[in-house]
Amino acid sequence: MRALRIAAAALPLLLPAAARAGCVWSDLVTEEARAAAVRPGAPRVNFVQDDVLARGCPNESAACRARAYLTPGDVVLTGPTQGAYTCAGFVGARGATTIGWMPSAALLPLPEAEQVPADWNGQWTAPEQDIAITPGGKGALRVKGEATWGMGDPERVRRGGIHTGEVAGEARPVNGVLAFSMGDDDTTKPYEAGDEYTCRIRLWRRGPYLLARDNNGCGGLNVSFSGFYRRKG
């Protein structure tokens, strides 16, 4: 799979579907997101660009067709639909992320599997983001993550202008969501106990993906753990 990373400015999730800027990561990192696979026997399926990048898209014209494509059996994270297209995201084996529209007819929704603690364990990766989840005490899960902002800018890297962030805590999943706030001295507090100045994070699983949403309070300027991750290895 040749990944073409598609970036676009995101509008708040509260906007109605008709007012959306397009298909972006924030449309996928929601509890309503689901996993789907490219249908068996389907030909190579290209991602389709959004109107933000090519006016009038998504549609089936060659002008809307992105270079990135998937093959039968590849699993994507799916979000809202627009006409005959579904917003989808894919993380490749090397961690490259592709987000764009895909023909809904080419996707087969996967059943939601009940999660057990072992399903969370592993090293999860996304661009400039890594989260490790290991068994904790008394059935809890231990979370430790690191994130950066600016690694894609060689000049920023050269002058040491990379921003960093960390998250750490231990909690149990409740209704399929692992959530906590970071307290003083690296203590873990309930998610609801945090405030805008406290690092707060929510994690949940969909298919092969780990989804994360934080409050942008877990690191330096522009650093965030929000996004969707795939397990290494």
Q: Note the pLDDT tens digit of each residue in 183-216.
A: 887 789 999 998 888 999 999 999 999 999 999 9
Residue-level pLDDT at 184: 80
Which residues span the domain enclosing 135?
A: 117-231
Number of domains in the chain: 2
Instruction: Establish if 33 belongs to a structural domain.
Output: yes
176 pLDDT higher than 70: yes
d(CA 46, CA 42): 11
d(CA 79, CA 87): 5
The answer to whether residues 135 and 222 belong to one domain is: yes
Instruction: Establish if 157 belongs to a structural domain.
Output: yes
Instruction: Establish if 131 belongs to a structural domain.
Output: yes
Instruction: Establish if 3 belongs to a structural domain.
Output: no
Domain boundary among 46, 74, 109: 109
The answer to whether residues 77 and 158 belong to one domain is: no
The answer to whether residues 67 and 147 belong to one domain is: no
The answer to whether residues 135 and 204 belong to one domain is: yes
- Mean pLDDT calculated for residue range 215-227: 95
Give the alpha-carbon dihedral of 172, 123, 202, 215, to 10 degrees: 140
The answer to whether residues 86 and 132 belong to one domain is: no
The answer to whether residues 130 and 217 belong to one domain is: yes
Q: CA 216 → CA 10, 142, 148, 201, 225, distances in Å?
A: 15, 21, 12, 9, 8
Which one is predicted more confidently, 224 or 197? 224
Q: CA 37 → CA 34, 72, 108, 120, distances in Å?
A: 10, 7, 5, 21
The answer to whether residues 124 and 187 belong to one domain is: yes
The answer to whether residues 181 and 213 belong to one domain is: yes
Residue-level pLDDT at 185: 77
5 pLDDT higher than 80: no
pLDDT interval class at 4 (50, 70, 90):
very low
Q: What is the pLDDT of residues 95-154, one digit of tens each?
A: 789 999 999 999 999 998 878 888 999 999 999 999 999 999 888 999 999 999 998 899
Residue-level pLDDT at 104: 97
Instruction: Establish if 11 belongs to a structural domain.
Output: no
Residue-level pLDDT at 12: 31
Residue-level pLDDT at 114: 78
Q: What is the pLDDT of residues 19-66, one digit of tens each?
A: 444 799 999 999 999 999 999 987 899 999 998 888 899 999 999 999
